[in-house]
Structure 1
């Protein structure tokens, strides 16, 4: 199996703790972290970012924006300061932009480059180089960018931007916040009005943050869905941003506290944007005990501390319309389902097949190897739960260079009779460097 060039495989054995208790703060939201760096780099003046997720994916975005002229530095106070170049001011990067494992960085930066007078080559690790970029290439080519890719619309690929680029009306053929965001970022330096029509709503961090930076943007409901219109040649104003905690990272602790008997965990500062909070809804439908403490608004985003206590879960049919608001949480939802009473049917998530791994197949194989009965569908899984007993465990899981598979199966191991071994836990660093340290704290152990 190919491994990331940055790390050699790092196997890890996970054993079940007695219970989980304590308070933790999860890393900053990954989606918001990427966008805050990009938009700060396009503003004129200095922006400050607190709570930035300092995982490998976000650092790849920071490195790319530096390569195109922005000054980005992390202070001793953990505040990141960005001196932007202004919309239209991106410089020609001296070498290829290494995206590592980050699909978000790649797709969004392709949009940025498409309307600037620069040419950028994007490269990535083995996993990212296998992921299709065609859905972004299509609209950006319509705006005038010249894009040459490896076979199948894959990396390495080169984007040669066009100035002035061409405003378009683009109806998303598949629900994707990354494609929407790529088009909106290209629209920033495009004269006229570019519209994205979104038949199914996806996470709206780009719209919220673009408006916060001063872009002229409207969101209206039309006959075919949400219409996001952005007036180009924007002037972005620098901002002070506090990044809320990532709901996709909080998801692992929500499920862990729900399934490990005796657990009582508070997860601080979790972003609860409704376009991202589907897992909270689904877990509550299953009977999870999740309380929102101190709800507040931070930088236009709803935030609360979540207290999660062990609860008996029941299998449900997950409403397919929740899928866009929890697409990254399906792997750990499958884990919750393994400990529920009865079957959980989780479908409407074909998008999972083109993530860092084929997450549907990877989770089926991992769960079944550890004693969980599942049925694989084209667009999800049916998981037959055991009513809250420990699963068998005992197997080695192939994490497939995918951080969410690694973390999800870590959570499964927390209520297993025999320890579960991950063949490689190193991908966790892409999104959650402190994950295992925090697990040790909640377990009352030392890492």
Structure 2
């Protein structure tokens, strides 16, 4: 049950997306910026910070551990780093809200501290699997305990010393990789993580920006504990995961011509672009450049006829957060789209495979959920209102994806349980309306 099940989107059918948009700052990078800036020596100035509930939870956690932080104000944050050993014991549990990234990364960072800490989250986060970080951290010598079901709360006690390990990820996960890297900062010796497939490398890039040596060789990343972080200036690009809804919307809505400004195009995050292009989308990357160690570009997208595809396995980790939006594109494509190898989607903020399949079927699209993916037959969206409204199950990406679906619907779409959109995309409805989506919010 959501804390605010009466927060709904009402979206009129049809329309197109046009003009210029700037989506919020990248959530993944915003989390990491606060964490590493807090551990650095000196003042770090951050611009483009995402002022959404998830990243604000990370900011609040470090304030609770004694880090002086000014802001955020219009995306600007100033962090007075306390150094690797300068964090203080919080007075109570650290509440990560809805953010799995914050909880898993902080578990690694806190495993090396000299004080106890407890990580808690909301009802949704408290159902998400945490053994994937608890087990390797325990191998490193951490004293960490999850609930009997392997979920939050996470109880972390001080340990005599962490030691580096060589760890092979059983499944591609940037969160687990980053968790172990942050623990590795405090470990004796070298920590090496082997990935089965490339995942987002924001932690590696940001550690390098803060002057911490990271060694990368193919799918292996290593670092040695005991180093120092030096303060710097960080410009956070806008979030490709947030841009994804508009990339899909402009691709499926006739007459659309949209420019998205300064979007992060990290090679480990561009699966949504690769897959949309494979489906026939008209997407152009303009003015490629670097911002804060991350590649960015302005992205122009125009409406284009799409066709179904078999999604390549190597693209799955590169688009794992964008699949709800991509399922909407698949529903508007000619023919069949099949995704496999994405069981991770079942343990996100919701079971995104089943919830998306249920919603698509409700709208008249043939969608079959598979154990590790989905099969979608392109068709025509109908309508969903009142008792037949789409249930987002408190999942921000589900809510925004079905809002975009209205661009190709025969009737209005009502989506309930949308409050958590604020975790990643504050102001989504207003920005989408400015681009041409007929969306209204109801908050009570």
User: What band does the TM-score fall into relative to the shorter chain?
Assistant: over 0.9
1:175 lines up with 2:165 in the alignment: no
User: Could you tell me which residue of structure 1 aligns to residue 416 of structure 2?
Assistant: 423
Preserved CA contact (<8 Å) 1:88 1:189: no
Per-residue deviation at 1:18?
2.4
| CA deviations over 1:283-311 (Å, ceiling 9, x no partner) | 00111000111111112211100011100
| CA deviations over 1:380-415 (Å, ceiling 9, x no partner) | 1111002xxx41122411111100110111111221
Q: Root-mean-square deviation (CA), in Å?
A: 1.4
User: Could you tell me which residue of structure 2 aligns to residue 55 of structure 1?
Assistant: 52
Preserved CA contact (<8 Å) 1:276 1:325: yes
Q: For 1:7-406, what aligned pairs fall within 5 Å after superposition?
A: 7=4, 9-74=6-71, 76=73, 78-221=75-218, 226-386=219-379, 390-394=380-384, 395-406=388-399
The alignment of Structure 1 onto Structure 2 pairs a total of residues equal to 437
Output the CA distance in 1 between the equivalents of 2:407 and 2:426: 19
Q: Which one has more relative contact order, counting CA pairs under 8 Å at least 6 apart?
A: 2
Instruction: Could you tell me which runs of 5 or more consecutive residues in structure 1 were left unpaired when the two chains were aligned.
Output: none
Per-residue deviation at 1:75?
5.8
| CA deviations over 1:178-223 (Å, ceiling 9, x no partner) | 00000000111222211111121111111111111111210013xx
Per-residue deviation at 1:16?
2.1
SS at match of 1:154: coil
Output the CA distance in 2 between the equivalents of 1:444 and 1:3: 25
Tell me: CA distance 1:185–1:261, structure 2 relative to 1, closer, same or farther (3 Å): same
Preserved CA contact (<8 Å) 2:394 2:420: yes
| CA deviations over 1:235-263 (Å, ceiling 9, x no partner) | 00001000011111000000000011111
When structure 1 is superposed on structure 2, of 142-151 and 132-141 the one drifting more is 142-151
SS at match of 2:119: strand
Preserved CA contact (<8 Å) 2:324 2:398: yes
Tell me: CA distance 1:17–1:163, structure 2 relative to 1, closer, same or farther (3 Å): farther
Output the CA distance in 2 between the equivalents of 1:204 and 1:189: 20
SS at match of 1:305: strand
Preserved CA contact (<8 Å) 2:331 2:365: yes
Tell me: CA distance 1:352–1:99, structure 2 relative to 1, closer, same or farther (3 Å): same
Tell me: CA distance 1:256–1:392, structure 2 relative to 1, closer, same or farther (3 Å): same
SS at match of 1:37: helix
User: Could you tell me which residue of structure 1 aligns to residue 426 of structure 2?
Assistant: 433
Tell me: CA distance 1:35–1:163, structure 2 relative to 1, closer, same or farther (3 Å): farther
SS at match of 1:150: coil
Tell me: CA distance 1:68–1:333, structure 2 relative to 1, closer, same or farther (3 Å): same
Output the CA distance in 1 between the equivalents of 2:313 and 2:194: 20
TM-score w.r.t. structure 2 length? Answer: 0.96
Per-residue deviation at 1:418?
1.1
